[in-house]
Structure 1
Amino acid sequence: MGGVAHPGGDVVVIVAFDQVQLLDVAGPLEVFTAANRSAGPRYDVRVVSPDGHDTVTSCGLRICVDASLEELPERPHTLVVPGRRDWRRATADAGLVSLVAALAARTRRVTSVCAGAFVLAHTGALDGRRATTHWELAAQLASAYPGVRVEPDLLFVRDRHLVTSAGVTAGIDMALALVEEDHGADVARDVARQLVVFMARPGGQSQFSVRMTPPSRHPLVRRVMDVITADPSVPSGMDALAAGAGISTRHLNRLFRQETGMTPGRYVDAVRLEAAKALLSSGTATVGEVARQAGFGSPEAMRRLFQNTFGVSPTVYRARFRSTSASA
Structure 2
Amino acid sequence: MHRIGFIVPRRFQMMSLAALTVFEIANMPPAGQCYDVHVLSEHGGPVESSGGMKLETEAFGDPTFDTVIVGSITEMKMPSSDATTISFVKDSANASRRIASICSGAFVLAEAGLLDGRRATMHWAHASEFRARFPKVVAEEDRIFINDGPIWTSAGMTAGIDLALALLDSDLGPDAAKMVARLLVMNQRRLGGQKQHSALLDMTPKSDRIELVIAHIRRNLRNPLTVEELADVANLSPRQFSRAFQAETGQSPGKAVEQLRLEAARFMIEQGRHTINVVAQETGFMDRERMRRAFVRTFGVPADVLRRNARREPVAGN
TM-score, length-normalised on structure 1? 0.69
Q: CA deviation at 1:325?
A: 4.8
- Aligned residue for 1:136, secondary structure, equals helix
Match of 1:310?
303
Query: 1:263-274, aligned counterparts within 5 Å?
Result: 268-274=257-263
Q: Is 1:12 paired with 2:4?
A: yes
Aligned partner of 2:263: which letter?
E
Match of 1:148?
137
Q: CA deviation at 1:121?
A: 0.6
Residue by residue over 1:160-207, the C-alpha shift from the partner in whole angstroms, topping out at 9 and shown as x without a partner, is: 100000000000000000000011000000111121122111111111
Q: 1:60 aligns with which of 52, 55, 58?
A: 52
> Structure 2 CA distance, aligned partners of 1:214 and 1:48?
41
Q: 2:15 aligns with which of 3, 23, 35?
A: 23
Q: 1:33 aligns with which of 1, 24, 27?
A: 24
Cα RMSD over matched residues?
Answer: 4.2
Residue by residue over 1:218-272, the C-alpha shift from the partner in whole angstroms, topping out at 9 and shown as x without a partner, is: xxxxxx9x987974664159xx9xx84899xxxx9xxxxxx99xx9966642222
Aligned partner of 1:310: which letter?
A
> Structure 2 CA distance, aligned partners of 1:297 and 1:48?
50
Q: CA deviation at 1:305?
A: 2.3
The number of residues matched between the two structures is 275
Match of 1:184?
173
> Are the counterparts in 2 of residues 228 and 236 from structure 1 also a CA contact under 8 Å?
no
Distance 1:55 1:304, change over 3 A: same
Distance 1:246 1:106, change over 3 A: closer
- Aligned residue for 1:11, secondary structure, equals strand
> Structure 2 CA distance, aligned partners of 1:153 and 1:31?
24
Q: CA deviation at 1:100?
A: 2.4
Aligned partner of 1:13: which letter?
G
> Are the counterparts in 2 of residues 202 and 326 from structure 1 also a CA contact under 8 Å?
no
> Structure 2 CA distance, aligned partners of 1:117 and 1:45?
20
> Are the counterparts in 1 of residues 285 and 291 from structure 2 also a CA contact under 8 Å?
no
Residue by residue over 1:126-168, the C-alpha shift from the partner in whole angstroms, topping out at 9 and shown as x without a partner, is: 1111000001111211111111110010000111100000000
> Are the counterparts in 1 of residues 147 and 153 from structure 2 also a CA contact under 8 Å?
yes
- Aligned residue for 1:208, secondary structure, equals coil
Match of 1:50?
42
Give unmatched runs, 5+ long, in structure 1.
Answer: 1-8, 216-223, 253-258, 282-289, 315-319
> Structure 2 CA distance, aligned partners of 1:150 and 1:214?
28
> Structure 2 CA distance, aligned partners of 1:194 and 1:303?
40
Match of 2:274?
none
> Structure 1 CA distance, aligned partners of 2:269 and 2:112?
40
> Are the counterparts in 1 of residues 280 and 291 from structure 2 also a CA contact under 8 Å?
no
Distance 1:54 1:306, change over 3 A: farther
Match of 2:299?
none
Q: Is 1:175 paired with 2:164?
A: yes
> Are the counterparts in 1 of residues 72 and 105 from structure 2 also a CA contact under 8 Å?
yes
Distance 1:150 1:82, change over 3 A: same
Q: 2:116 aligns with which of 127, 147, 153?
A: 127
Residue by residue over 1:92-131, the C-alpha shift from the partner in whole angstroms, topping out at 9 and shown as x without a partner, is: 4333333323323322100000000011111111111100
Match of 1:111?
100
> Are the counterparts in 2 of residues 203 and 326 from structure 1 also a CA contact under 8 Å?
no
> Structure 2 CA distance, aligned partners of 1:130 and 1:104?
16
> Are the counterparts in 1 of residues 81 and 108 from structure 2 also a CA contact under 8 Å?
no
> Structure 2 CA distance, aligned partners of 1:114 and 1:230?
34
Query: 1:151-230, aligned counterparts within 5 Å?
Result: 151-213=140-202
- Aligned residue for 1:138, secondary structure, equals helix
> Structure 2 CA distance, aligned partners of 1:112 and 1:214?
31
Give unmatched runs, 5+ long, in structure 2.
Answer: 205-209, 232-237, 271-278, 296-301
More deviation, 107-116/37-46: 37-46
Aligned partner of 2:50: which letter?
S
Match of 1:235?
226
Counting aligned pairs with the same residue, the percent is 35
TM-score, length-normalised on structure 2? 0.71
Match of 2:234?
none
